[in-house]
Amino acid sequence: MIKHFKIVSFIAAFLFQSLFVYAGGKVWKVSSNGNGQFTSIQAAIDKIPANNNHFLTILIDAGIYNEKLLIKHKNNFQLIGAGMDKTIITQSIARDAWRCDHNDDWGVATVNVDSSYAINFSNLTIQNNYGFENTATVKMPCALDSTNQKIVQPTGHQMAFRSFYATQLSFTKCHLKAFGGDTMSPWNTTNGMFYLKDCVLEGGVDFYCPRGWAYAENCLFISNTGPAAIWHDGSLHEDAKSVLVNCTFKGFDGFNLGRFHRDAQFYLIKCHFASNMSSEDIYQVKTTNTLSWPRRVYYFECDGGPTKNQFYKNNLDQAKGNPKASYINAAWVFGQNWNPIKQLSANKL
């Protein structure tokens, strides 16, 4: 009986290991200690065929991965870590310094995505350490600046995640972390669709700044510094919106909730605000941009926050179409264009 049990156990273990090695490339593993097919995340990403049509899962062992990820023309895959704050992808990059040597933002973030779709990030941390490691303002020579000099501040733009022309990106149980601004920058005003659930986001000015359609649920937003936490650009489509459901906001004393200087549309449903948050509503920054639509900022059953001037009183009935709060979910935000919950469920291991 014991011998039979050992044989069965050996076969089960062999089949389990074979899943990662021989499953037709469906599941790959990254481990810095050599226990997977790859020792770096970028190496695994580089092996994904361009415009991949077969969904792929890349499992990433616990550990600190000092990598800058460049993901371009890579589709239909997911990066799954060993747990939030157990699998950490990290770099230290100040955007102001980066733009002294580069003409654009490609590569400015810890994770950079361009011209890709259907990517899920789960159970991991993506961070930009610049503002945590550098507390002083520095002056540096800058050939691409008109003054030939750039002032780099610890509170400046520091992207942990930055995407261009990408869509159908989802983040579940992720920590997106920086000290400065634009921590989480999924930018695509044309057809960008971004889904976040059970995430922690922290940073400085506009540290959550999606362009296009975005839905965040059960997320924690932490303001380390800066004049606003959230920002949105929906300037190409009247229907574009940033929706936050059951999200919590906290930060330094007097932190502001949000702002915009392009056409934006915010829905905050059953969100929770710290008592030390500013009493200022999401505000429009003075700008030369021409806005096509009036101010569109809507609240429903939010709580906490400053006791005076509670700007977040219910006004959902003023939104176009008079949507009911019970109908506001990911399917409502993305319409028939994308069902992230169905996609995540179909690719769950």
pLDDT of residue 145: 87
Give the percent of the chain with pLDDT over 70. Answer: 93
Read off the pTM: 0.92
Quick check: 5 pLDDT over 50? no
Structure token pair of residue 6: 């050992």
What band does 1 get if pLDDT is binned at 50, 70 and 90?
very low
Q: Could you give the CA distance from residue 68 to residue 185 in angstroms, rounded to a whole number?
A: 16
Q: Could you give the CA distance from residue 172 to residue 196 in angstroms, rounded to a whole number?
A: 6
- In the predicted model, what is the mean pLDDT of residues 172-189? 98
Closest residue by Cα to residue 156 from 175, 178, 141? 178
- Please spell the DSSP secondary structure of 105-152, one letter per residue: -TT-SSEEEES-EEEEEEEEEEEE-HHHH--S-EEEE-TTSTTSEEEE
Cβ atoms of residues 63 and 88 within 8 Å: yes
What band does 147 get if pLDDT is binned at 50, 70 and 90?
confident
In single-letter form, the type of residue at position 162 comes to R
Which residues, listed in sequence order, are joined to residue 78 by a DSSP beta bridge? 57, 120
pLDDT of residue 348: 87
Cβ atoms of residues 152 and 137 within 8 Å: yes
Quick check: 223 pLDDT over 90? yes
- In the predicted model, what is the mean pLDDT of residues 124-143? 96
pLDDT of residue 294: 96
According to CATH, what is the number of the domain 63-346? Answer: 2.160.20.10
Quick check: 21 pLDDT over 90? no
What band does 309 get if pLDDT is binned at 50, 70 and 90?
confident
Cβ atoms of residues 61 and 31 within 8 Å: yes
pLDDT of residue 207: 98
Structure token pair of residue 153: 């501040």
Quick check: 3 pLDDT over 80? no
What band does 127 get if pLDDT is binned at 50, 70 and 90?
very high
pLDDT of residue 4: 46
Rg (CA), the chain: 22
Residue 306 or residue 229, greater confidence: 229
Q: Could you give the CA distance from residue 267 to residue 287 in angstroms, rounded to a whole number?
A: 22
Average pLDDT, the chain: 92
pLDDT of residue 53: 83
Residue 35 or residue 2, greater confidence: 35
